[in-house]
Each structure stands twice: as C-alpha cells, then as structure tokens.
Amino acid sequence: MSSRKSLEKAIGRIGDLPAIPEVVSQVLQLTEDSNVALADVSKVIERDPALTAKLLKVSNSPYYGMKQVVGTLKLALVILGAREVRNIVLGVSVVDSLRDKTTERFFEHMDFWNHSAMVGGLAKKAGTRFNLGLQGEDFISGLLHDIGKIVMWRQIGRPYEALLAGAGGHSAALIEAEKEAYDFDHADAAAVLAHKWNLPDTLGDALYYHHPREGQSLGDAKDPKLAALVQIANQAAHDNWAAEDKMSLISCANDAAWNVLFDNKKVMELDDRVSLLSGYHTELANAPAPVF
C-alpha cells in the first residue's frame, strides 16, 4: 500500500482514530510466534469469559461452517488450533472495540453486521473449498471488511450517514461519493486503522482491496489470494442471485480476482463459479443471523 502516508494525513485531518484496545493488542502479541502454544492462547482468552463465549458462538455458527460442535475453549484449541482460535478472537475483539451504543443504533439499522458475517461466511466457505490453507483469516477478513465505514461514521457523523444513504447500497457509488467528499474511501480508512492497530498486513491488505481499485492490482496485496477471496465474497453478498443474466453477477464476472485465486491456471468456468457461490449464498441466507 504505497499511499498510506497520504491517507493517514487525509484521515488525520478529520479526527483521531481510536487507540488500539488492550484486548486487541494482547491477542496480537500472541501472533508474534506463528507456532504459538495452545496454553498461552488459552491463558489470555480464559481470563475473559465474554470473549470465550463469543469465540464459541462464532465457531459454532453456520457462518463458520464447522462440522463438529465446539463446546469448550479447550476443544476449540484442539480442533481448530491455536492460530485459528487466535484469529477468531482477534476478529471478535476488533468488532467489540468498534461497537458502542451510538454506533450500534446506526449500524444495526443498516444491517451492517449481517452483511459482514455473510461476507465472512462466504470467504470461509470458498477459501476452504479452494484449499487456500487459511486459518480463519478468510472469515475475519470478511467479517471486518467494511469497518472503515464505522471509522468514517465515528469521525464524520451525520454528513457520512447522508452519504451512505445516498449511495443506496451501491458499492461503486459509495466509493465514488466518499472519494469526492473526503479524498479517501472506507477501504482506505479500514487499512489505516488496521495499520494503526498493528493488525497483520495480510488482513489490512484484504480490507484495503475489498473493492476493486483502479490502477492497482490484487497481486500487490500481502496475501493476494486472501484479498481476491474477500473481494469476490463482498461482491457475492451484494449480487442479485435471482437474476437471469449470469453476467450481471459481479462476483462471478470478476476475472481479475478469479485469476489470482487460481494462479492464472485452469481458472474455474463462469457457470461453475455461479453454482458454487449461489449455493453458498443460499445456505447462509437461510441460516439464523449470527449474534456475537
């Protein structure tokens, strides 16, 4: 992300970003060693029963798609492994840190978290299907992809609400309006927050690239496949799956992202993309909305 400095300047002009919450930095410390011990992860999470409960809720939700019920932290660590548990806890902690009563009133109302969980669930399912070897990064990148909207809402308030409403749920229109009004968009804001909070670069770049960026390539992301996956998942969450014309399904027509997913080799055919993603979308749309 080459223009981070200028973005920080632009975002800094309209207010301070929230400081990194204690729990997020604690969870992040666990990532420094990629072979982190189960006992160490367990110790940090155990101290916070609410966090433990949320970890189990997420792991057992249809959006996470586990085949087995995970009833305890110990079992979660055995089945998922320390790194994946750490990732889920990281996602949940970031969500918690950005939520407060005022933010919630607005964001619940816009169905923000349902959309976020849908993108997380779609990314997780597709990431698993394509054997990307991700350990929860798919789910949390999807879950957090739009947090830049919260950052902007907290800083700008009502004028940003009006801008969001004006875009009427159309991603391209929203990005354009944000850029015109503030010189940056919510994907930029998310990436700057991720950087400030020392979130992993793979995650920060997945947020930064969740909408196709003019003149920039997914290949420049720290983990291009993760970024491509989240871009497709977000488009799939917005697509109208009842449409007759399959080419109108932006998630399926996004060749640039599919090429990255398949290393430009034997890329999945359009019809197969449609049946795969529409199947995942239907499964998740019929699942109970996740509460965590």
The residue (of 234 and 278) whose beta carbon lies closer to Fe ion is 234
Q: Give the shortest CB-71-to-Fe ion separation in angstroms.
A: 32
Tell me the C-alpha distance between 274 and 287, whole Å: 20
Question: In the complex with Fe ion, which residue's Cβ is closer, 115 or 273?
Answer: 115
- Residue 168 region, left (φ>0) first, then alpha (ψ -120 to 50), else beta? left
- Which of 82, 92, 67 lies closest to 290 in space, CA to CA? 92
Name residues contacting Fe ion, limited to 138-177 (CB under 5 A).
Answer: 146
Rounded to whole angstroms, how far apart are CA atoms 3 and 153? 22
Question: Nearer to Fe ion by C-beta: 84 or 188?
Answer: 188
Residue 17 CB: number of other CB atoms within 10 A?
A: 17
Nearest approach in angstroms of CB 240 to Fe ion is 15
Packing angle of the helix pair 147-156, 82-98 (nearest 10 deg): 20
- Nearest to Fe ion of 80, 199 (CB atom): 199
Our CB check for Fe ion shows the closer of 155 and 234 to be 234
Q: In Å, how far from its chain's centre is CA 76?
A: 21
* C-alpha distances in Å from residue 149, one per residue of 128, 134, 172: 28, 25, 14
Q: Which stretch binds Fe ion (CB under 5 A): 1-9, 16-24, 161-169, 234-242?
A: 234-242
Of residues 97 and 234, the one with the C-beta less far from Fe ion: 234
**Min CB(142)–Fe ion separation in Å:** 9
3-state secondary structure of 37: coil
- Does 235 help bind Fe ion (rule: CB under 5 A)? no
State the binding string over 8-47 for Fe ion (x if CB under 5 A, else -): ----------------------------------------
How big is the site for Fe ion, counted in residues (CB under 5 A)? 2
Residue found under tokens 């996956």: 229
Pick one of 61, 93, 234, 254: the residue that binds Fe ion (CB under 5 A). Answer: 234
For Fe ion, the binding residues (CB under 5 A) are 146, 234
